[in-house]
Amino acid sequence: MTGLKKRRVFLSTALSCMCLTLVACGKGGQTETLYENGRMESFLEESSSSGERASAFASDLCVVTGSEPSSDSGVNAEAATLFSVKDKQVLFQKNPFERMNPASITKIMTALIALQDGDLQKEITVGKETVITEAGASLCHINPGETLTLEQLLYGLMLPSGNDAASAIAVYEAGSVEAFADKMNETAWKLGATDTHFVNPHGLTDPEHYTTAYDLYLIFNECLKYPEFRKIIGTTEYTAEYKDANGVAKSQKWESSNQYLTGKRETPDGVTVLGGKTGTTQAAGYCLILGCEDDQNQDYISVVMKASNRPELYGNMTNIIQKIVK
């Protein structure tokens, strides 16, 4: 058993145990958790320091028991969740622990690592890793030899959902896509996202690349702690000015795919969409993670995974986020 697998087994066990001892939270002193019964696994091996465990059991999170889905006939995607960040309440849940392909929502983890480790103004000359040949892959259309800042790559990652930007960030941060995937998995583990495993920085389909709606909440919750992340996901369009491989000035405009931000979809009264990340592949279906605020400027995180089509995706998400004001 590898060191990382040992730690994942340990944390899954510890989370199941700790759910009985966490401080009560939410309205009326009620603790709502999202960890289902039956997740208790045996302590197989010692693996992690108490310092590492502490980051997973952050005091601003709830770990919840109970696996019954919330009732809403208007939510027919395979998995969906809504969390109140400040109150630590679960306002909606449907299959929160089902392992699924996240498609391009993967890129929130890529962005998180870049924000944690990188100088956003660092100039990066991208290499052959930006040549993505998979059919249907989303791109921001950067090419080998071009020089952009890390900040520009993050906009190319999050707005047009550039797989080429994801690969460029991965190589810059870790030297290779494979090494970066290891870093993604280690970061996920530290956040308590124990049902997550990444093999690439962009979300192209792989049977070993998966996560859950709950784990995406954990990752996105961490992302929202960075003002730069909030700024990027709330941007509707961005113009990147950089140099091509010959040193000639080049400009590209990238636009958000979030239909709430672009005005294609109406937001429920009393709810402000901060931004988020879409993801679509044949295996993953249509997916969306969203950050919102109520009229008291309190944060909420919502997830929809594997809707059948884009209208269903946004219809499901609207049904979910309107629960913020009910």
Nearest to 109, CA basis, from 66, 162, 155, 158: 158
**Token pair for residue 5?**
């697998």
- 161 as an active site residue: the answer is yes
Q: What is the DSSP string of 134-152?
A: STT-------TT-EEEHHH
Q: Is 302 helix (H, G, I), strand (E, B) or coil?
A: strand
Active site residue 257: no
Q: For residue range 111-151, what is the model confidence (pLDDT) as tens digits? A: 999 999 879 999 999 999 999 888 778 999 999 999 999 99
Listing DSSP states for 187-208 in one string gives HHHHTT-TT-B-SSSS----TT
What's the pTM? Answer: 0.84
pLDDT at 12 over 70: no
> Quick one: tokens of 117?
């480790």
Tokens of 93: 């849940």
Residues in contact with 253: Cβ distance below 8 Å, sequence separation at least 6, in sequence order: 237, 238, 239, 240
From the candidates 47, 161, 257, 302, give the one annotated as an active-site residue: 161
- Listed by start position, the domains of the chain span 1-68, 74-326
Spell out the residues 6+ positions from residue 181 whose beta carbon is closer than 8 angstroms to its own: 170, 198, 199, 200, 201
Task: State pLDDT tens for residues 276-309.
Answer: 999 999 999 999 999 999 999 999 999 999 999 9
CATH number (3.40.50.920, 3.20.20.450, 3.40.50.720, 3.40.710.10) of 74-326 reads: 3.40.710.10
Q: Which is catalytic among the residues 16, 47, 84, 104?
A: 104
Q: Based on the number of CB atoms within 10 Å of its own CB, is 249 exposed (0-12), middle (13-18) or buried (19 or more)?
A: exposed
Which residue is catalytic, options 16, 84, 88, 107? 107
104 flagged as catalytic: yes
